[in-house]
């Protein structure tokens, strides 16, 4: 038994022991607050405590567990909401009421809940890491595959009958090659800061389809890829994350509320419980795990929360699912690192952040990827990290370092948000390096033209921004007709195509095929308009037909799934052009 020597906020020093290892989990004080060893200096052990340390005094007992901070993984994670160190918040509510109390040590999984399992192995078979030995239906949307933990293998000597089973009941007994008997239950433990091993990494080739036009068409993200959403407050980071969580075609969503608002987590809980997943026809909550460590919950647990989320993601990836993590916000995590580094009196680097900030970010983002898991199943983890740059200034360390480790960058723009253009993803400063990786996939499904159309759209927007510089100085009236067409068409592209209403019943999600067709319509407008301009007909005559404004409203009229509607718009464009032409002659 060891004793507390000093207290400074969440950092507690313990004196007198040399048996501790770095990152060991410890219990501090009579309330058994959970902590983690973050430093060893001679006889002094430095512990960061995941709960409020008020009331801790020198002489309080500290108990080591001899193991790093670990997470219990098994059925019951999906649909649940946890704090930063994976304690189930609903159970805590039952135990301690509306406010969070300290020293509540509740395991992540409900030990009493009964699952109906189907064994997938038999006595005499050999199990190796990653092999599935049982299955159960975790929710209506997710089948839970119970896998042999990494590092364990052997011959099966006992298998539980199909039927009721609780997480801690023995399902399989193994005899390892060195004749040790191992009991496997429905759950396994894994240290949160260690990546789970995989068979091998596979290059990304499939997009995470999100139904958001600006993302899927202009800046797509691959399954197994990483994206950052930086933006000042009010620019719509959270709504974009919510949209991705709701509509992306991942099998499982880990929504990580790291140092954000309590009401937002409540909103996710309410909305995801009510919204129906178009794929499975079940509530979205049945494929979602929520981790809520809001801004007023202890800072050390906030630091741990991203690892908790990632470990759960890896566990489901190993089952062969495509998992997407929405981390909102990684800046709060970086600030938690800074805060703890300050308490530990570590040397600050840029803006007070510790010098190891980039390596921590890299470690986190590199746990994403498309892999062949142990046991030969393909799964992926896609990470979408929100970044909240100080003052909306993207040159700050968290944004800059994140940029080095993600390949997709959706820059949110304050000016667009002020004009209520949502999603406020700036089309000039955002990028996706996955375009080339995903090109074959898009070509196979949407045809060659799509890639070209996308490039044309990007050029159109680029051209508009250059022309806007001139317009700002001299007004649009003086521009040549051809450039006026660019301005008008780009307006249709911005308002009609890029802008998407998250609260509109049908506009909130648009399938890829429709996106491609809609893009085609916008580009047809330019082609046809160009014919008039070439004949020297003023663009004003085409504008007067109202076709530009009709196309801007087009997205709201595509509610029914009739594809011919879109071709009708093309016909409309041609008709309008023909009419102007006839008038002219």
Partner 1 sequence: MRMEYIGLTEINGPLIVLEGVSGVSYEEMAEITLSGSPSASGASGASSAPGASGNRSRTGRVILIDGDRVVVQVFEGTKGLSLQNTHTRFTGRPLMLPLSPDILGRVFGGGGRPIDGLGPHIAVETRDINGSAINPVSRQYPRACIQTGLSAIDGMATLIRGQKLPIFSGAGLSHNELAAQIVRQARVTGDDEGAFAIVFAAMGVKNDTADFFIRSFEESGALQRVVMFMNLASDPIIERILTPRCALTAAEYLAFDHGYHVLVILTDIASYCEALREFSSSKGEIPSRKGYPSYLYSDLASLYERAGTLVGKPGSVTQMPILTMPNDDITHPIPDLTGYITEGQIVLDRTLAGGGLYPPIAVLPSLSRLMKDGIGRGMTRDDHPTLSSQLFSSYARVQEARALASVIGEDEISETDKCYMTFGRLFEKDFLQQGMTEFRSIDQTLEIGWRTLSVLPREELDRVDAVLLAKHYKGRNTR
Structure tokens of 285?
């909550």
Which residue stretch of 110-118, 362-370, 371-379, 414-422 sits at the interface with partner 1 (rule: CB under 8 A)?
414-422
Query: How many residues belong to the site for partner 1 (CB under 8 A)?
Result: 79
Nearer to partner 1, 56 or 368 (CB): 56
Distances in whole angstroms, Cα of residue 374 to Cα of each of 75, 148, 185, 328: 19, 9, 19, 29
Cα distance between residue 17 and residue 40, in whole Å: 9
Q: Give the helix/strand (H/E) hosting 175.
A: strand 172-175
Within 55-74, the residues that bind partner 1 by CB under 8 A are 55-59
**Out of 18, 42, 54, 122, which residue is the one contacting partner 1 (CB under 8 A)?**
54
DSSP state of 495: I
Which residue stretch of 54-62, 374-382, 456-464, 525-533 sits at the interface with partner 1 (rule: CB under 8 A)?
54-62
Strand 369-373, strand 200-202: pairing: antiparallel
Which residue stretch of 47-55, 170-178, 192-200, 505-513 sits at the interface with partner 1 (rule: CB under 8 A)?
47-55
Q: Give the helix/strand (H/E) hosting 34.
A: strand 33-41
Nearer to partner 1, 213 or 421 (CB): 421
**Out of 163, 482, 546, 563, which residue is the one contacting partner 1 (CB under 8 A)?**
546
Cα distance between residue 411 and residue 569, in whole Å: 32
Residue of 44, 49, 38 lying closest to 17 (CA atoms): 44
CA angle at residue 355 from 353 to 361, to 5 degrees?
Answer: 80
Structure tokens of 132?
């599935």
Within 341-380, the residues that bind partner 1 by CB under 8 A are 341-342, 345, 348, 351-352
Within 496-525, the residues that bind partner 1 by CB under 8 A are 503
Within 257-276, the residues that bind partner 1 by CB under 8 A are 257, 259, 261-263, 265-267, 269-270
Closest approach of Cβ 168 to partner 1, in Å?
A: 24
**Out of 495, 508, 541, 579, which residue is the one contacting partner 1 (CB under 8 A)?**
495
Nearer to partner 1, 48 or 185 (CB): 48
Which residue stretch of 69-77, 431-439, 456-464, 542-550 sits at the interface with partner 1 (rule: CB under 8 A)?
542-550
**Out of 22, 101, 162, 355, which residue is the one contacting partner 1 (CB under 8 A)?**
101
Residue of 56, 65, 51, 53 lying closest to 20 (CA atoms): 65
Contacts of 128 (CB under 8 A, 6+ apart): 148, 153, 374, 375
Q: Is 477 in the site for partner 1 (CB under 8 A)?
A: yes
Q: Is 326 in the site for partner 1 (CB under 8 A)?
A: no
Cα distance between residue 175 and residue 154, in whole Å: 5
Virtual torsion, Cα 567, 572, 577, 582, nearest 10 deg: 130
Closest approach of Cβ 297 to partner 1, in Å?
A: 5
Q: Is 99 in the site for partner 1 (CB under 8 A)?
A: yes
Which residue stretch of 89-97, 126-134, 316-324, 377-385 sits at the interface with partner 1 (rule: CB under 8 A)?
89-97
Nearer to partner 1, 101 or 276 (CB): 101
Cα distance between residue 145 and residue 166, in whole Å: 15
Nearer to partner 1, 22 or 419 (CB): 419
**Out of 31, 52, 110, 378, which residue is the one contacting partner 1 (CB under 8 A)?**
52
Distances in whole angstroms, Cα of residue 284 to Cα of each of 136, 221, 251, 256, 318: 19, 21, 10, 15, 21
Give the x/- contact pattern for partner 1 in 2-41, rule: CB under 8 A: ---xxxxx---x-x--------------------------
Which residue stretch of 182-190, 316-324, 337-345, 562-570 sits at the interface with partner 1 (rule: CB under 8 A)?
337-345
- Cβ 47 vs Cβ 3: under 8 Å: no
First-last CA distance in the chain: 98
């Amino acid at each position: 038994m060891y004793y507390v020597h000093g207290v400074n906020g969440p950092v507690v020093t313990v004196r007198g022991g040399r048996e501790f290892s770095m990152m060991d989990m410890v219990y501090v004080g009579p309330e058994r607050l959970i902590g983690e060893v973050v430093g060893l200096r001679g006889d002094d052990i430095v512990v960061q405590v995941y709960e409020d340390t008020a009331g801790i005094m020198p002489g309080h007992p500290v108990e080591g567990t001899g193991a790093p901070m670990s997470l219990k993984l098994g059925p019951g994670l999906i649909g649940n909401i946890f704090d930063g160190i994976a304690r189930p918040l609903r159970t805590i509510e039952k135990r301690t009421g509306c406010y969070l109390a300290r020293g509540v040590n509740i395991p992540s999984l409900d030990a009493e809940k009964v699952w109906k399992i189907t064994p997938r192995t038999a006595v005499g078979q050999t199990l190796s890491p990653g092999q599935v030995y049982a299955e159960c239906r975790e929710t209506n949307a997710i089948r839970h595959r119970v896998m042999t933990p990494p590092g364990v293998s052997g011959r099966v000597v006992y298998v539980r009958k199909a039927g009721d089973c609780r997480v801690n009941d023995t399902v399989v007994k193994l005899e390892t090659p060195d004749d040790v008997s191992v009991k496997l239950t429905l759950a396994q433990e894994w240290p949160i800061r260690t990546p789970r091993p995989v068979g091998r990494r596979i290059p990304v080739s499939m997009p995470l389809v999100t139904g958001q036009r600006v993302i899927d068409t202009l800046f797509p993200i691959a399954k197994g890829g990483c994206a950052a959403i930086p933006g000042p407050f009010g620019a719509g980071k959270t709504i974009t994350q919510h949209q991705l969580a709701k509509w992306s075609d991942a099998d499982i969503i880990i929504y990580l509320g790291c140092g954000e608002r309590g009401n937002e987590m409540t909103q996710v809980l309410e909305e995801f419980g009510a919204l129906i997943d178009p794929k499975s026809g079940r509530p979205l909550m049945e494929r979602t795990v929520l981790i809520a460590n809001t801004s007023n919950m202890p800072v050390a647990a906030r630091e741990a929360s991203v690892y908790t989320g990632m470990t759960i993601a890896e566990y489901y990836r190993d089952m062969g699912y495509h998992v997407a993590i929405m981390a909102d916000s990684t800046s709060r995590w970086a600030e938690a690192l800074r805060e703890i580094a300050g308490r530990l009196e570590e040397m600050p680097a840029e803006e007070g952040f510790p010098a190891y900030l980039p390596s921590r970010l890299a470690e986190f983002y590199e746990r994403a990827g498309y892999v062949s898991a142990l046991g030969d199943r393909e799964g992926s983890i896609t990470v979408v990290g929100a970044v909240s740059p100080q003052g909306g200034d993207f040159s700050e360390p968290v944004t800059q370092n994140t940029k080095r480790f993600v390949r997709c960058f959706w820059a949110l723009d304050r000016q667009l948000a002020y004009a209520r253009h949502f999603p406020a993803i700036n089309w000039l400063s955002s990028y996706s390096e996955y375009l080339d990786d995903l090109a074959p996939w898009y070509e196979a499904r949407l045809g060659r033209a799509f890639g070209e159309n996308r490039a044309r759209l990007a050029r159109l927007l680029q051209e508009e921004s250059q022309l806007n510089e001139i317009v700002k100085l001299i007004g649009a009236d003086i521009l040549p007709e051809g450039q006026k067409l660019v301005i008008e068409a780009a307006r249709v592209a911005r308002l009609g195509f890029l802008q998407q209403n998250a609260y509109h019943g049908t506009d909130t999600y648009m399938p890829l095929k429709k996106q491609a067709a809609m893009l085609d319509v916008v580009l047809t407008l330019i082609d046809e308009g160009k014919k008039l301009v070439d004949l020297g007909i003023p663009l004003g005559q085409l504008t007067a037909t109202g076709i530009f404004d009709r196309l801007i409203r087009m997205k709201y009229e595509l509610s029914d799934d009739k594809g011919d509607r879109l071709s009708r718009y093309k016909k409309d464009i041609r008709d309008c052009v023909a009419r102007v032409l006839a008038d002219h002659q």
